Structure 1
Amino acid sequence: MTRIVVIDNHGQFTHLEQRALRDLGVESELISNDTDPADIDADGIVLSGGPDMDRIGRSADYLDLDVPVLGICLGMQILANELGGRVGGGEYGGYADVDVEILDEDDPLLGSLAPETRVWASHADEVKEVPEGFTHTATSDVCDIEAISNTDRDLYGVQWHPEVAHTDEGEEVFENFIALCEQ
């Protein structure tokens, strides 16, 4: 059975990420972001959202475990920040429904979604510059960089929360990530 761990970065929806994966038939465990990378046995990792970059524990260390990684909100910002991109304050601020445009129909994480999809996202902080080796895969009128992918390293990030009911195609995002973990 496919096993995906969710790294707890203290976000308010983190438990919903684990539940979404479990409901899709995946063995899933919520683990502390201080867990030693050597103790992680998984086919994939979800870096959860959270309140700020000061509380990410060892999240950066998990990027080198040679398994697919999906960064959600703060998780995507960790990917960008640790791999040479840039994160800064968003102009919009807190949570809101946002219409996101998918920019790459061949992207393995988002390419199967509708060309425009409604999501629930926080934009208090956001990726301002995409790291080298990543592709900018989604945008909105609220935030230029809504999603990024590095298919060579199997690293993916979305600014929005696919685990909440307000996101139209969130389950499909998780299904696509599971498929990446099963390859």
Structure 2
Amino acid sequence: MTRIVVIDNHGQFTHLEGRALRDIGVDTEILDNDVDPDEIDADGIVLSGGPSMDRVGRCAEYLDLDVPVLGICLGMQFLAEELGGTTRSGDYGGYADVTVEILEEDDPLIGSLAPETRVWASHADEVDDVPEGFTRTARSDVCEVEAMSDTERDFYGVQWHPEVAHTAEGEAVFEAFRDICESR
């Protein structure tokens, strides 16, 4: 059975990420972001959302585990900053229902959602420039980088929360990430 751990960056929806993975048949566990990377045995890692980039613990070390990584909200922003991209405060701060345009139909994480999908997202902070090696895979009227992918390293990020009921096709995102982990 595929094992994907969720790294808890103290976000309010982290428990729902674990549940969403369990619901699609994944062996999962939620781990605090200060767990020693040597103690992580997984086929993939989800970096959860959270309130502050100052509280990402040892997330940088988890990128060296040679497994696929999915960053959600703050998790995506962390990936961007850690790998050479930039983030900024969003123009639209709170949570909202947003229509996201899929830009890369062949993207292994979100391509199946094309041409667009409805999501629940916070835009208090957002990725401004994607890191080298990444492709911007989705955008919206309120955010130019709603998702990004580096298929060479299997690092992916979404600004929105696929784990919440307000996101129309959230389960499909987790299923695609499971498939990425299984194909590795």
Shorter-chain TM band: over 0.9
Structure 2 counterparts to residues 34-183 of structure 1, below 5 A: 34-183=34-183
Give the ranges of 4+ consecutive aligned residues of structure 1 lying more than 3 Å apart after TM superposition.
none
* Aligned residue type for 2:68: P
* Aligned residue type for 2:9: N
Separation in 1, partners of 2:51, 2:60: 16
Separation in 1, partners of 2:114, 2:107: 12
Q: What's the offset of the Cα at 1:114?
A: 3.2
- Report if aligned partners of 2:96, 2:121 keep a CA contact under 8 Å in 1: yes
Separation in 1, partners of 2:115, 2:28: 30
Q: What's the offset of the Cα at 1:60?
A: 1.3
Matched, 1:9 2:9: yes
DSSP 3-state at the match of 1:34:
coil
Separation in 1, partners of 2:169, 2:53: 27
DSSP 3-state at the match of 2:16:
helix
Runs (5+) with no aligned partner, structure 1: none
For 1:21, the equivalent position in structure 2 comes to: 21
Separation in 2, partners of 1:17, 1:172: 13
Separation in 1, partners of 2:172, 2:56: 26
Q: What's the offset of the Cα at 1:94?
A: 1.0
Using the aligned pairs only, state the percent identity.
Answer: 78
Separation in 1, partners of 2:126, 2:11: 15
DSSP 3-state at the match of 1:112:
helix
> Please, what TM-score do these two structures have when normalized by structure 1?
0.99
- Report if aligned partners of 2:105, 2:114 keep a CA contact under 8 Å in 1: no
Separation in 1, partners of 2:62, 2:115: 31
For 2:31, the equivalent position in structure 1 comes to: 31
DSSP 3-state at the match of 2:144:
coil
> Please, what TM-score do these two structures have when normalized by structure 2?
0.99
What RMSD over aligned residues (CA atoms) do the two structures have, in Å? 0.5
DSSP 3-state at the match of 2:149:
strand
Deviation readout 1:48-105 (Å, 9 max, x if unpaired): 0000101100011111111000000000001000000001100000100000000000
Separation in 2, partners of 1:25, 1:93: 34
